[in-house]
Amino acid sequence: MASRVTDVYLNAITSTRGSVIESNDAATLGQPEQDCERIAAKIGIRSRPIASADEYTSDLALRASELLLPVANGFREEIDALVVCTQTPDHLIPGVSSVLHGKLGLSTSCFVMDMNQGCSGFIYGAQMLGALIKSGMSQRAVLVNADCYSRLIRPDDLTTRVLFGDAAAAGMFSTTPGGLKLLYSKCYSDGSGYEEFIARNSGVRQDVNVRSGIFMNGPGILNFALRVVPEAIEAALGETGLALDQIRTIAFHQANSFIIGKLAHKLRLRVDQVPQNCETLGNTVSASIPILLQSEMANLRSGDLVMAVGFGVGLSWGVAVFENTVAS
Amino acid sequence: MASRVTDVYLNAITSTRGSVIESNDAATLGQPEQDCERIAAKIGIRSRPIASADEYTSDLALRASELLLPVANGFREEIDALVVCTQTPDHLIPGVSSVLHGKLGLSTSCFVMDMNQGCSGFIYGAQMLGALIKSGMSQRAVLVNADCYSRLIRPDDLTTRVLFGDAAAAGMFSTTPGGLKLLYSKCYSDGSGYEEFIARNSGVRQDVNVRSGIFMNGPGILNFALRVVPEAIEAALGETGLALDQIRTIAFHQANSFIIGKLAHKLRLRVDQVPQNCETLGNTVSASIPILLQSEMANLRSGDLVMAVGFGVGLSWGVAVFENTVAS
């Protein structure tokens, strides 16, 4: 038996964000204005959207998805896979994707699942939905990346509070030509570093002797990213036969400007290759790459190549390469 | 471009269970012996393994995986995907799969992710790893189904407490012939029923006016299963061109004997087609089907057909069909 290789397209992306805007300023952080200014300048994050008291991950996921359905190819009834990537689900049982499936009124003939991934979640999601489509198990699959990290951040932990924003992005992957054609994706992991970024007392394990919430080893994550990301990009270029200067846009996970700047410098990238949006969004976890791609897609010409690079909690990382197929 | 269709095999399954055995008796449940006997007889569950105070989902997942690696084909370094299906992760961030990846010492060139699914989790996992393998993105993938529902069950909620056991199963999916060849898989969902089985205050959403823990609409789930499961089995038979009496073993999710009996009756199945193991295991969520398959595999002859049927929380359901390729 033989079959044609199926091409996978990311046709459209939509997004939404938490309803409250929090600034990295003295009034919010309770620190001297001078210190706040120094921090904001270094990380390149001035303000961040945060979920309001009655807003949860399922609300952001629903808003992003409701924006997507009218602009994506095809009909609601044709969606045969809905995957929500989140680390901050409303409930452990059932997943956000179940709530979303019901509220969107999708067909029962649909693969519906939450996946748990952080800052590499868009690459992992693209790989997974790409596999479902290439294997013939799906023709039209929605990936939602949604998180409300603010629920797990201690207000007095400035090392994480100044970084993270709450947002959601929804992307339509399908066999229908249009948008970004997926040329390559590869996911990596190193679980020996799982404690570098961990949310204590967030699951069913309760450790009474530790404070609850997110703990981040910032320097550890920085060193990890500077080590593994260039290697993974090198591998992607080798596999696709491309050179770095042929890539029009490199959509790095928007961890913060400091780390993106270090990566760009190490890889000798041109400034115009490395768009950023974290100044007013912060690090929106797995939604950060699709939100950046959403705005970048408007500027692309047909044939332009785009690389997406995720890295973070797990530890995990991954690279995807797309070719734009729509003339601007 | 053309490519050969890749066959997917479930080569081996291993499992483990919580260290404490809890009986559905008067001493444990605090109810009259007569009532306990009546309940146990109806649901067909006499005792259940429960995680001990210092045992978590990652511990069960690790034990099951460590048993798998020596009996599965190939080498540890060749594992390129590790997916843990759980609804009771130790932490929300990172997933159980990250912890497991580190402790097992697997390669960094590995797709590592948690997926959130309940009683259909084995079918969803088989579909997903099947897609990764068929699309060429993985050659050797481990699926771990692990849960400790006991952490989310209120001790005084006898409607759920008498049903659930804590356990983990690990399965090796690969391109290497041997074991159960995956012929078919299909997943379904109906999110409009997401409140039929829900764990309140288990994620980042805190509702102060409701009690925490699992709430189940038993009759609702029963009616749902009796409605959708026969339809999904019918669809699987239609797609594979098989008749129900050609299937040697139908591995139903081991929800309880009452519901399995109802399904078997409705489908006019022979008793020998419907093995059960819930008497001493209870409902072990997504681990229940692979644990049953593990013991059944020893009794299969080459060419025997096996159907696996999951249904539950989400709501979600699914059917997989396998052909045994090893003579007993």
Global pTM value: 0.96
Task: Tell me the HSE value of A89 on the side-chain side, using a 13 A CA sphere.
Answer: 37
The answer to whether the peptide bond before residue A158 is cis (omega within 30 degrees of 0) is no
Q: Helices A121-134 and B121-134, interaxial angle, to 10°? A: 80
> Is there a contact between A205 and B111 if contact means CB atoms under 8 Å apart?
no
Residues A208 and A213: their CA atoms lie apart, in Å, by 12
User: Which B residues 276-315 touch A at CB under 8 Å?
Assistant: 313-315
> Is there a contact between A134 and B134 if contact means CB atoms under 8 Å apart?
yes
- ipTM score here? 0.96
Residue B4: what pLDDT?
61
What value does the mean pLDDT of chain B take?
95
The catalytically annotated residue of B11, B24, B256, B283 is: B283
Residues B222 and A186: their CA atoms lie apart, in Å, by 42
B172-181 burial, b for 16+ CB within 10 Å, e for fewer? bbbbbeebbb
Split at pLDDT 50, 70, 90, the class of A4 is: low
Residue B144 buriedness (CB in 10 A; 0-12 / 13-18 / 19+): buried
> Which of A73-82, A291-300, B90-99, B309-318 has the least mean pLDDT?
A73-82
Of B300, B321, B291, B298, which is closest to residue B8 (Cα–Cα)? B321
Residue B199: what pLDDT?
97
The catalytically annotated residue of B11, B36, B145, B253 is: B253
B119 assigned to active site: yes
pLDDT of A14 strictly over 50: yes
- Say whether residue A3 is in contact with chain B using an 8 A CB cutoff: yes
A253 assigned to active site: yes
B155 phi and psi angles, rounded to 5 deg: -55, -30
Residue A73: what pLDDT?
67
pLDDT in tens, B271-305: 999 999 999 999 999 999 999 999 999 899 999 99
- Say whether residue A53 is in contact with chain B using an 8 A CB cutoff: no
Choose among B136, B185, B194: nearest Cβ to A99: B194
Please report which residue ranges of chain B form alpha helices under DSSP H. 26-29, 33-43, 57-71, 96-104, 121-134, 158-161, 218-240, 257-266, 278-281, 288-297
> Is there a contact between B204 and A313 if contact means CB atoms under 8 Å apart?
no
Residue A76: what pLDDT?
86
Spell out which residues of chain A touch residue B57, defining contact as CB-CB under 8 Å. Answer: 204
Nearest chain B CA: its distance from A124 CA (Å): 8
What share of chain B has pLDDT > 70, as a percent? Answer: 98
- Say whether residue B57 is in contact with chain A using an 8 A CB cutoff: yes
Q: What token pair was written down for B68?
A: 């798998």
B253 assigned to active site: yes
> Is there a contact between B116 and A115 if contact means CB atoms under 8 Å apart?
yes
Spell out which residues of chain A touch residue B98, defining contact as CB-CB under 8 Å. Answer: 189, 191, 194, 313-316
User: For chain A, where are the E strands, in sequence order?
Assistant: 2-4, 9-17, 20-23, 47-50, 81-85, 111-116, 140-147, 167-174, 180-189, 197-200, 213-216, 249-252, 305-312, 316-324
Split at pLDDT 50, 70, 90, the class of B325 is: very high
Mean of pLDDT values over A96-110? 97
For residue A236, give Cα distances in angstroms to A267, B12, B119, B228.
Answer: 14, 33, 37, 44
pLDDT in tens, B89-108: 999 999 999 999 999 999 99
Residue B75: what pLDDT?
78
Q: What token pair was written down for A190?
A: 């190193």
> Is there a contact between B189 and A118 if contact means CB atoms under 8 Å apart?
no
> Is there a contact between B93 and A187 if contact means CB atoms under 8 Å apart?
no
The catalytically annotated residue of A119, A148, A187, A278 is: A119
